[in-house]
Amino acid sequence: MLIDGSPSLDLRSLRDRQQYFDPHGAAARAGFSSGDWPLFGLLWPSARPLAARLALRPVTRGERLLEMGCGLGLASLAAHRAGADVTASDSHPLAGRFLRANLRLNHLTALPYRHGPWAADAAASEDETALSGRFGLLFGSDLLYERDDDGRLAAFIGRHAATQAEVWIVDPNRGNRPPFSRRLLAQGFRLTEEPIRSADYRGRWLIYQRM
């Protein structure tokens, strides 16, 4: 997978959205329908500009990074290869397995993976450790693809963002930005938006900062 300004990364992924295999009902128990189940295993277009920016971001000693909804983990892999202390998180039962496979494909050292559902009361999966701690940079690609009427994503960020923190989200101009932004502004963040226009992607950077 090509990343602008950085060496390419190889990714193990699903072939398409038709692949579905949940014989033990793990995805169903986690709240994934058969239609949503394959989404973690496909590379979303927003992941590429996010990975490119993280690959070139200077590493700060002692800073902890968290990818929210990592899926295949492209952005986490790019940050990890650049030397950042990054943790990948997702709520899908197979995301950790695919992340480990992609680390091996790219000859990278182990990277922490944690089960990270938005809901505070969601239990950790059987084979992954629940997410805990706070981070200086939280990032994700296309996280606002569905409505979040009860504010779970913003609350998740509130539980895991350090006192001084940034949140980076690459968003393909979804309509769910305003309520999410209002919730983060209420937490003391300020928002900067930057357009992303390339030959194969249109969207925007949502950069929230709390100092």
Specify the pLDDT at position 58: 94
Reply yes or no on domain 44-210 having CATH 3.30.9.10. no
pLDDT of residue 83: 96
pLDDT of residue 15: 77
Q: What is the spatial distance between Cα 88 and Cα 83, in angstroms, rounded to a whole number?
A: 14
CA distances from 77 to 28, 34, 44, 47, 50 (A): 28, 27, 15, 11, 11
pLDDT at residue 183, as a whole number = 97
Judge if pTM exceeds 0.85.
yes
* Residues paired with 161 in a beta bridge: 135
Note the pLDDT of residue 96: 93
Q: In this structure, how many other beta carbons lie within 10 angstroms of the beta carbon of residue 94?
A: 18
Residue 147 token pair: 């409505």
Domain limits of the chain? 44-210
pLDDT tens for the 211 residues of the chain, in order = 666 666 789 999 887 767 777 778 777 777 777 677 777 888 999 999 999 999 999 999 999 999 999 999 999 999 999 999 999 999 888 899 999 999 999 999 999 999 878 887 654 444 457 888 999 999 999 999 888 888 999 999 999 999 999 999 999 999 999 999 999 999 999 999 999 998 889 999 999 999 9
Within 8 A by CB and 6+ apart from 186, the residues are none
Q: Pairing relation of β-strands 161-171 and 201-210?
A: antiparallel
Confidence at residue 71, expressed as pLDDT on a 0 to 100 scale: 93
Q: What is the pLDDT of residue 132?
A: 87
Q: How many angstroms separate the most distant Cα atoms in the chain? A: 47
DSSP assignment string, 3-53: BTTB--------SSTT----TT-HHHHTT--TTTGGGGGS--TTHHHHHHH
